[in-house]
């Protein structure tokens, strides 16, 4: 048996059976070895991974490559587009000498292709369709985590949701929740709650202040209708799965809004 070279030894770590994402080939001393393929099995892409490198080394292109092949394999993709440089997935693109040379080195036949892409934004002022969710869909437990409430305050919020649900009142946005809390701390509201508990002014104040902080981070724009249907993230077009680009370049100063969205999205996906 012929002795393997360094490139083939490296490639042995990527040998797998079944469908896989092709990332390229091993490069040693500036030379590409087309026979030493680097690939990731589709079955392992639900695990954590890290794409690292200096500026200009191809991190964004690698993400695009993975997203394109997942889409072609029928796997929906959601990408957080921090710098706004992933939108090229929606365009077919054009070949050039550099791409042709790279394809030749890999022994590959590259053809430009576009993929189904939808653009979403958190809050207003973004280029994509705004993402919204209702207060009701969050529910008292998840919303309590978002607002940083303690157990007593969470229990009170649960009572508020229960009262609204019993009366068929939809809590769509933060204004709806404020109105219900204001009512339940009034004399009339206390009568409504007689027999099932009450909402103290102090606890209501804590909840309202936490709600104000979330609104200042963009929560006022996030909560409301029309609510995002998570099934829209899993659509197909032209035989390819949807690639969703979430615009985040305007959220550096609003981390609470992003974490709120992620908590809601994960809850919806795994419900």
pTM of the entire structure?
Answer: 0.79
What are the per-10-residue average pLDDT scores of the chain (271 residues)?
Answer: 70 83 84 83 89 89 91 93 81 79 77 89 80 93 94 95 93 95 91 83 95 90 91 91 86 77 84 70
Query: Which pLDDT score, from 0 to 100, does residue 1 have?
Result: 42
Domain range summary for the chain, segments of one domain joined by +:
1-45, 135-222
DSSP-assigned states of every residue in the chain? -PPPPHHHHHHHTT--SSSEEEEEEEEETTEEEEEEEEEEEGGGTTS------STTSSHHHHHHHHHHHHHHTT--EEEEESSS--GGGGS-----HHHHHHHHHHT---------EEEEEESSS-SSEEE-B-HHHHHHHHHHHHHT--HHHHHHHHHHHHHHHHTT----SHHHHHHHHHHHTSHHHHHHTTTT----HHHHHHHHHHHHHHIIIIIHHHBSSSPPPGGGGG-EETTEE-EEEEE-TT-TT-HHHHHHHHHHHHHHHT-
Query: Which pLDDT score, from 0 to 100, does residue 182 have?
Result: 94
């Amino acid at each position: 048996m012929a002795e393997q070279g360094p490139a083939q030894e490296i490639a042995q770590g990527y040998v797998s059976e079944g469908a896989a994402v092709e990332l390229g080939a091993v490069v040693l001393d500036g030379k590409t070895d087309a026979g030493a393929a680097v690939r990731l099995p589709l079955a392992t892409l639900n695990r954590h991974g890290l794409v690292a490198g200096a500026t200009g080394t191809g991190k964004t292109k690698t993400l695009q490559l993975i997203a394109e092949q997942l889409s072609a394999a029928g796997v929906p993709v959601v990408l957080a587009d921090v710098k706004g440089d992933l939108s090229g997935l929606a365009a077919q693109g054009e070949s050039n000498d550099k791409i042709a040379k790279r394809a030749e080195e890999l022994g590959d036949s590259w053809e430009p292709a576009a993929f189904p892409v939808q653009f979403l934004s958190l809050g207003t002022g973004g280029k994509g369709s705004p993402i919204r969710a209702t207060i009701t869909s969050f529910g008292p437990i998840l919303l309590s985590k978002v607002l940083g409430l303690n157990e007593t305050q969470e229990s009170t919020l649960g009572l508020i949701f229960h009262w609204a649900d019993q009366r068929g009142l939809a809590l769509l946005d933060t204004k709806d929740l404020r109105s219900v809390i204001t009512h339940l701390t009034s004399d009339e509201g206390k009568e409504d709650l007689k027999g099932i508990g009450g909402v103290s002014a102090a606890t209501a104040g804590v909840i309202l202040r936490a709600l104000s902080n979330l609104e200042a981070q963009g929560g006022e724009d996030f909560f409301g209708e029309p609510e995002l249907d998570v099934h829209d993230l899993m659509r197909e077009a032209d035989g390819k799965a949807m690639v969703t680009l979430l615009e985040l370049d305007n959220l550096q100063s609003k981390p609470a809004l992003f974490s709120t969205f992620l908590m809601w999205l994960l809850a919806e996906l795994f419900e």
